[in-house]
Amino acid sequence: MPKILFVPGSLRAASSARATTRTLIARIGDVATCETADIGALPHYNADVTDDPAVAGFVAQVKGADGLIFVTPEYNYSVPGVLKNAIDWASRPAFASVFAGKPCAVVSVSGGALGGVRAQAHLKYILNGMLAEVHPCKEIVVPMANDKVTDGVLADEAVLGFAMEQLSGFLARLS
């Protein structure tokens, strides 16, 4: 089974990004081994810091995963700073980081009607710049996401069905 690292872009335990992450893990848990990154444990990016254990752990998680699934909220039309910070830590050395050639899929959530499409576009641009292999598929977006969370999980079967259809292609390429 492929090993998938989920990278939720929100720190808040009750966020729609984390609810979506939990739900997707439950749905693909029988075909993949899933782990969730704790990007909130990382310090602010500083190239002078070379031996932080949280950074080393995150980089090892990315390196050891067969693929990554990012679940990002949209903050001010882009990705959250904490997510960008995590990516910056794992993006070194440039063009030879653990992201080079790493298969990645992107899911976005938003309290608005567009489902985080702007954050998704920015995240894909960032990942492409690090030579990650962004999975080509229809965009997986969760509009009005806060209204679709029940008891800590995403409860929109239409969105989940669509997401699983897109992620099945991603998972198939990792097997």
The phi, psi pair for 97, rounded to 5°, reads -80, 180
Encode burial over 70-96: b for 16+ CB neighbours within 10 A, e otherwise.
bbbbbbeebbbebbbebbbbbbbeeee
What confidence score (pLDDT) does residue 41 get? 96
Query: 8 pairs with which residues across the strands?
Result: 71
Q: Give pLDDT, residue 17.
A: 98
In which region does residue 76 sit, left (phi positive, over 0), alpha (psi from -120 to 50) or beta (all else)? left
Mapping DSSP to helix (H, G, I), strand (E, B) and coil, where does residue 173 land? helix
Write down the pLDDT at residue 103: 98
Alpha-carbon gap, residue 17 to 150, rounded angstroms: 13
What pLDDT was estimated at residue 175?
Answer: 83
At 119 the pLDDT is 98
Give domain 3-174's CATH number out of 3.70.10.10, 3.90.230.10, 3.30.420.130, 3.40.50.360: 3.40.50.360
- Say if pTM beats, i.e. exceeds, 0.75: yes
Query: What residues in the chain have per-residue pLDDT under 70?
Result: none
